[in-house]
Structure 1
């Protein structure tokens, strides 16, 4: 059992300074938004107390960071009570239950509810509840206070309707926000004020005793009847414009990776999109985000833009970093985009919660370099190359070196799994004598056998030769040995026998007693958390190691079968002519 004290660490930090308040705000929002801490009353009260001390730009950045998480309803409520720039990113991406949305709607401003009206993934009940607020959200506030505090803009373009007198008499209370609604601005226009005055004034009769409003209603009825009979008016054809098929565009980003300038396509779907995260209506693969974190160039990264504009669809984007000549400071990217060619595909994985093989290989590349550096420094400290070191620190350096070597082995396993998944595994055809290979692997695993107080008993024919890539064969058999030996109990013997059968090398491994209780498919589901306390256990778990071994055996032209008491590995063999069998691969 493990205890996560991250929340206690954040709450105990100094929040009296501006930097401390901003740091605590970011950490608390991240812990609660990603489910690592509960949204309890004490935690939410602390966030509300910190809100006034945190600039709106920092709060807006925290809101955008929640786009890839699933914040609870209490945290969503905290953000939607904030300024419109802070509330909008959360409202566009939050995923709540129907009853949580409905409970949240009455406390939202009309601006916040208008953001929700643009979403198409809300439950049906929430959509109906939003429609019920229409009569309130779309009423123009005609109070004298609103007319007195709004400055009349120049050259306005406005489409408005006269509100219901009762709705005007009791307008919705205004929220404290930096956003000025169109309704409040419209009240300052002389034409709207005159329209309201004429609407509230009693109708005047004409010379023949009838009212002009009745004539207007008759004309409107006649227009609707004519449209229903003859179809839409001819003027509608003016708006039936051809769709522009954009083939390329240029863009520039700022230092945060956010696109700020676009030329060649519609700007609205792209402005504000970040190279470092998935945005609303668009998605960029890991090539661009990885390059952004390294401040390096990238080519042919995949971009998918949703919608119906000329920017919608699949793109391939390339960009180079830009640095200030005077200071050397990174200022952003300049790049271009093109439509993918016929032989290319720019579609991203539908399952965003699972990294694709290309992203895994990129991750492996980024992890291997610092891990090797840590292992090198640990060995230098342990061997006292930098000067005398106390024995206690030499021991710790040795432990770090061993742990980093285990991490490098896990990184190599991830790299191989990604290569298998992308059909990029490079295998050479070779002949691998089995007996010397088994002896070498047993010698390498002797420290692990001593740690587990277990023994390995190998019996293999001296003339048995495997047909396949020598590195892949050694990795496959070595991983199986290490995985089974790590689950062995004190005094247990792991038996291994090898024979030739039907032009195949058949290697049979005994299952340790700790794994006998698992069914065949249950072995593949043992994760790393289950074995975290076992010394020498695979870093990624027994299930991952066995799945990787099974897939690698398939790449070598063989198979791995999980039996009730044994594991059977079959690989192509090189059979001698004396046995009257031919070479098989």
Structure 2
């Protein structure tokens, strides 16, 4: 940090690590950022703010950027996702301009909106001419002993309408120095602002006598249409109130009590793909409030093929449909495991990265002995990362948090690529893989199908012995199912049926998490894909949905 470049590097690295929640916003780290902020050029700070736009930074980092110059703060204020209590604690420390940015957001909870409205007398500053008129009216009313103290105190009432609040703020804006009222002509009549103050006083007296008027609840909308721009922000709606919906983003998953969409819509937006029955929750009391199921298709410019947004519809969920996103209670075993996986993945990736730097001599010459040890460390770290990913996958399946996007996946190229990846392991075990001749296709999430087949094949190859051949066959069982049959190694022949799922503690098991764990994970993932895993005496049969129809044959 002794040079300007070093200060900028520290700023970028700390903002990136804290903003993406790779490290917690510790007191020392935040103090360092506050201390060096003045030494970091505004373009660098603005670039860091833009990089955090969809990174879900913690409240401490949001506060740091929100108190910066408004051009730097806007990207963070526009997209930060905090709880209602965190927003309410931050609001008093923001400038009126920063709070005005938050007023334009449609995804904040009702508590935050009420807190923003309470800043009306502070943020809604009158121009100089209106202020002078208000001051003059105040002095005129004071001279006539008009009862304006009560309206002044109610200028801070959160239940006032916006127009009433502005009028009350005008009457309460008493300056530090008196301003003489303008001279009255003979035919000038009463002062207009004084009439407004008198009307406010009459309004409150009538309200106290008759009680507040509760407006009737708006009729509940049952469906609407919408269109978004190329950034996924809803810009047009029909058949529903515009205010609660306009400005919501398909690419921003909400948290807490804010309006939100689930990961189905967000994932489809990043791939520019269509989606169906994604979940949306709109907060508030308007006709659009409540749970929705939304479906949309992408729209492309016919002239140049550029993505221009989405067109879709929304409907209320039926009684047999669950519209709210599945939430796993904090402290559950699956949630705890996912947190543990997150804590393990970061240092393991760092170990693998430093070992690779040593092996490739990026920091300078290294002896062959140390390079060989670094190669071993990198290999072991890669295997550990694979085991961590398996634990994460198991936790996601257990907590119903696995997001899948159906796609057509050809099996023959995928199996060939997996066999190439397993070539070092096959050479070590002295075995081989027999690939199928047929090339059929299945329907499922591409990454999940690849993970399922690669994990299953790696487990069986790890149990194979010298000279063994693990044959793979692919067959179309029906119009709806494709069967992938894989030979069982001889080492697993002593475990009939499902007993092979419980051999995690065997001494001869060479896999990191155990053969039983890998097979159970494969079976559960196959079920998530709409198929299953059958363990037979001589082979394991994986069944997945087929990408065929009885009329057309194999899909293209």
Q: Which interval holds the TM-score relative to the shorter structure?
A: 0.3 to 0.5
TM-score by length of structure 2 reads: 0.47
Q: Whose Rg is larger?
A: 1
* Higher RCO structure, 1 or 2 (CA under 8 Å, sep 6+): 2
